Chain A
Amino acid sequence: MSENKLMKNSVITTSLSRELTAAEISEIEHEISLYPDKRAVGLEALKIVQRHQGWVSDESMRAISNYLDIPVADLEGVATFFNLIYRRPVGKKVILFCDSVSCWVMGCDRIKQKITDQLGIDYGETTSDGEYTLIPVPCLGDCDKAPVMMIGEEMHRHLDEEGIESLFRNAAVNKSGGDS
């Protein structure tokens, strides 16, 4: 019995929350105005926060959960259901690389290898300068222009190794140019 007296019960661990920014809140509020129930806005809120923060951290999850009054576990269900809600940090630009049938037939494997060689990242990885994250997607709906990929919002079609070479060379040049 005496050991019991000295044992504090385990803390129910809880990660911290953060404040949503004014910009995030105003966009979320706009979405809320479109639905009868604010809890319908979960997915939109995740997209909004991702647009502002680049990804959705645990702290952001709690912030959205508090704001919309959705249990954070339920929100996690939504966030993890959709592959394009990022629950881990990603690079400034996400490369969505199609590895599905048409693109595979058109030799996407070689293109992927080229990207990996040039940027030094495999699927799921981010370049050390935090610029690019490479993620495979199943079909971008542009099969007639295969192989294809998307960088940020921009489609890149009829990919070949030279194109990749120059694409990422330019990016790197732009970057260092911009920095100086």
Chain B
Amino acid sequence: MAKITVDGQCYEVDPANNLLQECLSQGLDLPYFCWHPCMGSVGACRQCAVKQYRDEDDKTGTLVMACMTPVTDGAILSIEDDQAKAFRAGVIEGLMTSHPHDCPVCEEGGECHLQDMTLMSGHNYRRFDKRKVTHRNQDLGPFLNHEMNRCITCYRCVRFYNDYAGGKDLSAQASHHHTYFGRFEAGTLESEFSGNLAEVCPTGVFTDKPFSEHYARKWDLEAAPAVCTGCAIGCNTSPGERYGSLRRIVNRYHSDINGYFLCDRGRFGAHYVNSDFRLRSAKDSSGMTLSSEEASIAFARDTQKRLIGIGSPRASVEANFALRRLVGEDNFYAGFSDSDYEAMQVLLNSLQDQDFNCPSLKQVESADAVLIIGEDVTNTAPRMALSLRQSVRVAAYELADKARIPQWQDAAVREIAQETRSPLCIFATGATRLDDVATLRLNASREDLLEAAEALFVRLSGDSPHYREGVTGRTMQAVEETYAALLAAKKPLIISGVHAGVEAMRLASNIAKRLAKIRESSCDLVLLAAEHNSVGHALLLEEKNSLGSAFNRLKDEGCDGLIVIENDLYNRAPTSIVQAALKSVDTCIVIDQIETPTARHASLVLPSTSFVESANVLVNYEGRAQLSFQLSPCPESLKPVERWLNVEGSESTESLIRRCSTELAPFSELDKCLPHPSSVVPGAKFPRMSHRASGRTAMNADRNVHEGKQTLDDNSVMSFSMEGIQPLRDATVLGSSWAPQWNSNQSISKFQNEVNGALKQRNSEIHLITRNSHLDYYPSYSRTEGQSDEHKYLLQAVQQIFGSDELSARSKPVQSRMSDCYIAFNVESAKQLGATTGDSIELQDTGVELTLVVRADVPDGVALVYPGSSATGLSVNRFDLPKAAQLSRLDKANSEYGLGVSSLVVDDRVDVEVTTGAIL
């Protein structure tokens, strides 16, 4: 710790940091633009100038940039010094010469860091009366607006998009007062993290496009702390609502998970809650709409019968728990496909095993050697891919340490590192979106990858692996290099997941376990679940109750039907099996938020709430249970699943959570995720609206001029109003961050223990799983069947960030980035079949037709299949696909239906039009 004096006041600060960061950590107000808490300093904007004095006798001092000046013990500084203040005001004045001053029509207005800093610096009179420089804007696709005139050239956008997130299609162009931040030409920004630009840019250059289609000022948005439902990571979000519709999602800081950034699936996928895909009223088998009461009566009548329940990884813990209680644990079945369920067992085991540690995203960032087996992280758990991009920089930080360059000196650290990276070894089939930072790529069919992983395990066990005849030197070399990298690492990390399959997960566990033994301490292992509550659902299941066994039960005499909650069974099993199962019973009750193919077979459909209309608890891949708060009042026709099920105690989420924690061992701590506001005044609540919310008396005046009573919320510590305890007092219920003088998201530093630290009053969460076992190794892997047929292609399912998740695939902005189901193979195969990207390919003897995307990196003999989404566009059921198939090109014009494949972003795509000359 070092002592510094700022304007006569003494502070204890961390000497490893720069002055700006430490001033902010101390709660001081010091303006800045280009510095970012997790991207460090480059000293580009000169906004953070302060006076530094040599010693107590120095009365003149020198201006220094706080973000570029290391903390030194005994430093004497002044923020309030007149020269420093004049300098900062002057800098703003310079930055603003060509700024359009169009705050009233700017989406950033009211939460603009530039507005805040301008006010804080005291520049309030425009002297420059010459012509302003203006720019042409680009159409950047469905997610972001571009309004270049508002730019103050802080370079944060390119530092985030290129340096931090690895984007390739945004750049700083031209120079001095013409500097331009944009693409080479208009077109969709390709990075999966592009939406963060809306938050990273301190002005209104990049703003959220879907939000501006139904815009409201930040102060008019009702906000509550929520958890993303896009995947198993469980990023924290802050949804904003007005007039009963969800307007946008912004990041909500969580020090261990998402930090300051979300992925585009999470940010733009939540708009499904407003869509026509939502179920908004109960229906009977003939499609007749039922009132809430009628529906409840029908439901009560049906529950007299002998029903089984099928739960869901996308339904909350309470919903699954309530169903389990209603039908009984023996009748409560997995909502996973059988293969995923097997994989989930491996995942649960890994979470209990003391040999492993399941790292948070923050810990992932500090892994100094990573091996990914078969999981396409960018498309299955996108935010983790962003963390992996940071992990390869560990080597850069080591170099910088040696050269005594502090880590926050961003440009210097990148300069010294050049292309130096910590090992990131990717065993995958075809190109992945992390290949550009990978130090090793093993590109082979799934079976070959598994064999390589097995060889690696054997190698780690001290034996020499036995390579099958024909295994190339390339595989051997990859195994050797990965072996060396993992052994040399201080903090190795192994990653696989449910999409990679159960064998890959077992091998990943074996490798991590072997490393743990060698290192004599636990090894980091991530096994990614597929959905936002996969782990919560799995924890509630009796192991034998797979979906397959549920289908068998339905054939029994003693079973009259089933209740399915928030699940589309066609995503879990082959079409024929699901159809037969649903036909075999008369009673099929489906409770869901969205219309699905399964709901179309139901004898009774009940509409459930989304994360917006009810609170819920979700358990992420680490076993971290997080509470997502209700955002807006629930319309009468909708109910949370648990309330439809009408289990005792389900009147409030809280009581059901308490019941769950008393009744079920794995959940015994669950009630700890309920907020414990340290400073709650009895009776007072945390407001969801800001204290500046406008229009309360006018909002409903088109229907009634009397000001209605605010909707009460008896179930939550939050209220649907602006009165109550301001969030500054308790960060566990931080819907949206705001502090005096800090209207933008940069206000978050006021809620952190220190910059980049934990939120002052912790989060509404609890780790559910205690590690208390040492499991054995899984049996070694051996290939089940040989390469069956020369002429057949092995088919492997792949995921896409936009489309593979059921809920976000129903969001309009996400749909405009989705593609139809497609098949991908390499140029050589395309030549053989005489086909090019966009052609129709038939899987022989199956009747399945898919659009072709030629992808250069797909290994010989393999075809990747993306099954598409039942929400829109063309799709297939991935469980209907054979393991291998003969392919042929269909001679027919492209279907005019569907979405096509043109918006698909994959790195190894080969389109004849784009590349030089004809490749095919």
Chain A positions near chain B (C-beta within 8 angstroms) = 1, 4-19, 37, 58, 61, 63, 66, 71-77, 80-81
Contact = CB atoms under 8 A, between A and B. Distances in A.
Given A7-B899, A12-B902, A80 B916 contact: no
A87 B815 CA distance: 36
B832 interface: no
A16 B916 CA distance: 8
B168 A8 contact: no
A1 B902 contact: no
A73 B171 contact: yes
A5 B872 contact: yes
23 contacts: A1-B277, A4-B872, A5-B872, A5-B898, A9-B902, A10-B188, A12-B141, A12-B903, A14-B913, A15-B185, A16-B913, A16-B914, A17-B916, A58-B185, A71-B168, A71-B171, A72-B169, A73-B168, A73-B171, A74-B168, A76-B171, A77-B171, A81-B175
Nearest to A82: B175
Contacts of A58: 185
> What DSSP secondary structure best describes chain B's contact surface?
loop
Given A73-B171, A77-B171, A12 B188 contact: yes
A73 B188 contact: no
B819 A77 contact: no
Contact of A73 (B169, B174, B899): B169
A73 B184 contact: yes
B183 interface: yes
B174 A81 contact: yes
B297 interface: no
B212 interface: no
A81 B174 CA distance: 4
A5 B419 CA distance: 45
Interface in B115-159: 141-142
A9 B184 contact: no
Given A12-B903, A18-B916, A63-B916, A5 B897 contact: yes
A4 B902 CA distance: 16
Interface residues of B, number: 42
A77 B900 CA distance: 32
Nearest to A73: B171
Nearest to B818: A9
The 3 lowest CB-CB distance pairs between A and B, nearest first, are: A71-B168, A73-B171, A77-B171
Contact of A9 (B169, B897, B899, B913): B899
A41 to B, nearest CB: 16
Contacts of A72: 169, 184
A78 to B, nearest CB: 9
Nearest to A11: B902
B174 A80 contact: yes
A81 B173 contact: yes
A18 B917 CA distance: 8
B42 to A, nearest CB: 16
Given A11-B902, A12-B187, A17-B914, A77 B172 contact: yes
Contacts of B188: 10, 12
Contacts of A37: 419
Nearest to B169: A73
Interface in B185-210: 185-188, 190
Question: For A16, A19, A76, which residue has the most chain B Cβ atoms within 10 angstroms?
Answer: A76
A80 B180 CA distance: 10
A1 B916 contact: no
B383 interface: no
Contacts of B186: 13
A21 to B, nearest CB: 13
Interface in B887-920: 896-900, 902-903, 905, 913-917
Nearest to B916: A17
Contact of B900 (A9, A16, A73): A9
Nearest to B911: A14
Contact of B902 (A7, A8, A71, A73): A8
Interface string B854-879: 00000000000000000011000000
Given A1-B277, A5-B897, A71-B168, A19 B916 contact: yes
B291 interface: no
B7 interface: no
Contacts of B873: 5
A73 B815 contact: no
Given A10-B902, A11-B902, A61 B184 contact: yes
Contact of A6 (B175, B897, B905, B913): B897
B715 interface: no
Contact of A10 (B168, B896, B903, B913): B903
Question: For A4, A9, A66, which residue has the most chain B Cβ atoms within 10 angstroms?
Answer: A9
Nearest to A5: B897
B173 A76 contact: yes
A49 to B, nearest CB: 14
Interface in B488-507: none
A72 B916 CA distance: 14
Contacts of A73: 168-171, 183-184
Contacts of B174: 80-81
Nearest to A36: B418
B816 A9 contact: yes
B55 interface: no
B502 to A, nearest CB: 34
B25 to A, nearest CB: 34
A163 B872 CA distance: 71
Contacts of A14: 185, 187, 913-914
Interface string B315-340: 00000000000000000000000000
A18 B897 CA distance: 33
A1 B171 contact: no
B276 interface: yes
A12 to B, nearest CB: 5
Given A6-B897, A9-B902, A13-B185, 6 more contacts: A7-B899, A8-B900, A9-B817, A9-B903, A10-B141, A12-B141
A74 B190 CA distance: 15
A80 B818 CA distance: 33
A17 B902 CA distance: 18
A70 B346 CA distance: 42
B916 A66 contact: yes
B766 to A, nearest CB: 40
A15 to B, nearest CB: 6
A35 to B, nearest CB: 13
B174 to A, nearest CB: 4
A1 B170 CA distance: 34
A80 B173 CA distance: 6
B872 A74 contact: no
A163 B394 CA distance: 64
Contacts of B171: 71, 73-74, 76-77
Contacts of B173: 76-77, 80-81
B731 to A, nearest CB: 39
Contacts of B172: 77
Nearest to A6: B897
Contacts of B896: 6
Nearest to B178: A80
A1 B914 contact: no
Nearest to A63: B916
A73 B162 CA distance: 11
A150 to B, nearest CB: 21
B554 to A, nearest CB: 29
Contact of B276 (A1, A13, A15, A71): A1
Question: For B276, B817, B914, which residue has the most chain A Cβ atoms within 10 angstroms?
Answer: B914
Contacts of B897: 5-6
A159 to B, nearest CB: 27
Contacts of A7: 899
Contacts of A80: 173-175, 180
A7 B896 CA distance: 9
Contact of B899 (A8, A63, A66, A74): A8
Interface in B816-874: 816-819, 872-873
B743 to A, nearest CB: 32
B136 to A, nearest CB: 13
